[in-house]
Amino acid sequence: MFSNRTNWQLAQNRLTRALEHARAQKLKLVDLTISNPTRAGLHYDERAILAALADPRSLDYDPQAKGLLAAREAVAGYYRAEHGLELDAENIILTASTSEGYSYVFRLLCNAGDELLVPKPSYPLFEFLADLQDVRLVPYPLIYDHGWQMDFHSLEKAVTARTRGVVVVHPNNPTGSYVSAGEREQLNGFCRERGLAVVVDEVFLDYGLDDEARFPGLAKAARPFDKLRAGSGASHSADTVSFAENGEVLTFTLSGLSKIAALPQMKVAWVVASGPGDEVVAAMARLEVIADTYLSMNAPVQWAVPVLLEQRKNIQRQLMARVRANLAELDLQLAGQTACERLEVQGGWYAVLRVPVTRSDEELAIELVEEKRVLVHPGHFYDFPGDGYLVVSLIGDEGEFREGIERTLTRFLNG
């Protein structure tokens, strides 16, 4: 009765079962996987957020496929203020989520069975998004050697006649690695030669650990980058520059309020098209038809976009303070032992721990729930190349984080 594309393995995984069991027994767990910022004890400007949703202009229905111009201009304003870019609002299309943005772009680029190259390890939702659009994902590895790098050799080998584009996550979840300036150049050349599009997920772009200029006074991160860009309040290393103006090849840059302003419940995201002019015009015309078919953006939230985007200033500062404090705490605790280490992180909300391999990551995560009462994500959730990786969120409460890391590390005290 049902389509093959929905033939998912729907049974709960063992970790979820162990977690439910622990919760049913009313055991108090420390959660090191928290990714919902609305439940992370942050201070939102509740009054401003709620007032913005009550704009009387929302009583009018003005169906604009790309989204209301005022909202798209606010998005362009964000890129101007934070990233020093001058974007044309006509090349921005609003979507209800980055996931919806992905599905529009996948629909635009791919016939059923066409392929997209995706990084590995990375964001686990890709598989579902691709299944639903009948797209085949072909992974290309990111390789760790004192920092994560794209493996262009593997990328070359992964291309077939059906490849339509390369997906990058900038910075990647959960490795926290940006596409470096050198990789960007190589990626552009690679895609130009083969007629491929670039799809860039920038939801964590603003959470660069090195962004001292944007978050003055917060403790500095471990690894400084060269500062090459300055002006309009934006100060970024060459590595952390947005792709939203990438001009060499057809590029779709995805982002949204869920991470930028830590407001995932508002369901506002966008796709920016850039690249050779004629290709951008053709892509936008088609994307507009896709968006017009659904018209998924509601009026109140679109009128609120300027105010909601403004919330980033308050919320990013709080989140960066958390991320830096938790990372410093992690490093402090790691310095007291030799079994585990942290991989290099440049930005985002997560850290990756390299731990001794005594069993599968899933079994280890289950053991941590059952015996240490702490929840972490096993690396295999993100397609790490083997066992020995745990992923922890850095946005949680600092006291909880300290306790959770203590509990995790005691597991490895005697091998």
Ligand X SMILES: Cc1ncc(COP(=O)(O)O)c(C=O)c1O
Q: What are the residues binding ligand X (CB under 6 A)?
A: 35, 97-99, 123, 169, 173, 201, 203, 256, 258, 264, 269
At 106, list the tokens: 């996948």
Q: Are 93 and 284 in contact (CB under 8 A)?
A: yes
- Give, in order, the Cα–Cα distances in Å from 151 to each of 125, 203, 409: 22, 22, 32
Smallest separation (angstroms) from ligand X to the CB of 340: 24
Q: Are 408 and 361 in contact (CB under 8 A)?
A: no
Smallest separation (angstroms) from ligand X to the CB of 404: 20
Q: Are 392 and 333 in contact (CB under 8 A)?
A: no
Characterise 222 by phi-psi region: left (phi > 0), alpha (psi -120 to 50), beta (else).
alpha
Q: Are 271 and 253 in contact (CB under 8 A)?
A: yes
At 256, list the tokens: 């949204």
SS (H, E, C) 210-234: CCCCCCCCCCCCCCCCCEEECCCCC
Handedness of CA 373, 374, 375, 376 (dihedral sign): negative
Cβ nearer to ligand X, comparing 200 with 340: 200
Give all strands of the β-sheet with 389-393 in edge-to-edge order. 341-342, 350-354, 389-393, 377-378
Q: Could you identify the residue written with the tokens 């262009």?
A: 152
Neighbours of 314 (CB within 10 A): 16
At 391, list the tokens: 């992923």
Handedness of CA 380, 382, 383, 384 (dihedral sign): negative
Cβ nearer to ligand X, comparing 235 with 311: 311
Cβ nearer to ligand X, comparing 257 with 330: 257
